[in-house]
Amino acid sequence: MALRPIPPRDYRDDAKPVASPLLRFVLLAVGLLCVGLGTLGVVTPILPTTPFLIVAAACFARASPRLYQRLLANATFGPLIRDWREQRAIPRRAKLTATAAISVTIGSSAVFFVEPLWLRILLVATGGTLCTWIWRQRTPDAPRRL
């Protein structure tokens, strides 16, 4: 059994659960869905990982301090969320990985699978816009290992 990394601090105090059980249930369901989509986004470049995890963290902060802390303590996803939360930044390695995955996926789709020229142009423009947005975001001050 591997030990979980301890985040720089305990974020459970930052979590402010809502009073309504129904709203808490909805936020918990949305948070779990976003974690699932973010996990799927790790292997599918069409789905962005980081935005889904940021939404999941926001939902868990309002629904479950335990899941919020667990998400931030996760060895894979925690550093991405903490970097975004603390510095509004995306690590350089995540930017490189995302750009490579987007380029390969959209490039191969445009070349091998899409027939109409207008759709190819739309695909390449979407990928270019996404990569531009990613690279315009700050890089964390201190490099972190993913």
Higher pLDDT, 91 or 129: 129
Per-residue pLDDT tens over the stretch 116-129: 999 999 999 999 99
Specify whether the CB–CB gap between 83 and 76 falls below 8 A: no
Percent of the chain with pLDDT over 90: 30
pLDDT band at 143 (very low <50, low <70, confident <90, very high): low
pLDDT band at 1 (very low <50, low <70, confident <90, very high): very low
Q: Which residues are paired to 138 by β-bridges?
A: 89
Per-residue pLDDT tens over the stretch 32-51: 999 998 888 878 766 778 78
> What is the 8-class DSSP label of residue 5?
P
Tell me the pTM: 0.64
The helix/strand count (H/E) of the chain reads as: 6, 0
Task: Answer positive or negative: Cα dihedral of 75, 76, 80, 85.
Answer: negative
Does 111 score more than 80 pLDDT? yes
- pLDDT at site 47: 73
